[in-house]
Amino acid sequence: MEFIRTEIPDVVICKPQIFGDHRGYFTETYRKDKLEEFLGYKVNFCQDNESKSSYGVLRGMHYQKPPFTQSKLVRVIEGRVLDVAVDMRKGSPHFGKSVAIELNAKDGNQLFVPRGFAHGFIVLSATATFAYKCDNYYAPNYDTGFLYNDESLNIDWQVPENDLLLSEKDKKQPPFSQAEVFDINKNLYD
């Protein structure tokens, strides 16, 4: 597996090797030792999640507050999505900036989204099956987020506004300026 830092270096693209022939393919989708060696710290995934969505479904922007912050390793099993991570670490040189990467089933690339980031995605294909590992359990009382289309962030979701499908929760999120943020000086991995 190859690891590539994005324009926000803590967000990492994970490129698997895919071995294919007339029978199909084989790929290693996760290696704890290799990821931790690249990151320089431990990540202990404890929960796997999966969703299936249709074109225009936007899920985000979400994150969990301490002590239930989460890192995620996200991938697409079927279809294509635009995956977005936003730095929520006040004091970071990248605070309020985003990384947007297309993930698809064909190339198998994954995105590692560390603690201290909000995360969301939108489906670009007819349908998409999205899977991700989390290094902390879902805690509904600590779940939070901000409005997906906040003008200060200028995220291009690549789907016309009229085609977006959102949950009621995501339609009612606060603007980014009112979102709870993390302190860059606090270790989110304790």
Amino acid letter, 36: E
In a domain, 5, yes or no: no
Alpha-carbon distance of 121 to 82, in angstroms, equals 5
Q: 33 pLDDT exceeds 70? A: yes
In the chain, how many H helices and how many E strands? Answer: 2, 15
CATH number assigned to the domain comprising residue 110: 2.60.120.10
Q: Is the pTM of this model over 0.75?
A: yes
Tokens of 71: 């890192």
Over residues 47-78, the pLDDT tens digits come to 999 999 999 999 999 999 999 999 999 999 99
In a domain, 9, yes or no: no
- How many domains is the chain partitioned into structurally? 1
In a domain, 15, yes or no: no
Selected catalytic residue, list 62, 94, 119, 148 = 62
In a domain, 160, yes or no: yes
pLDDT class for 190, splitting at 50, 70, 90?
Answer: low
In a domain, 102, yes or no: yes
Task: State how beta strands 127-134 and 47-54 pair.
Answer: antiparallel
To the query of whether residue 132 is one of the catalytic residues in this protein, the response is: yes
In a domain, 90, yes or no: yes
The radius of gyration computed from the CA coordinates of the chain, to the nearest angstrom, equals 16
In a domain, 31, yes or no: no
Instruction: List the domain range (segments joined by +) for residue 60.
Output: 46-181
Greatest C-alpha distance within the chain: 53
Selected catalytic residue, list 63, 94, 119, 132 = 132
Q: Do 78 and 129 touch, CB atoms closer than 8 A?
A: yes
To the query of whether residue 119 is one of the catalytic residues in this protein, the response is: no
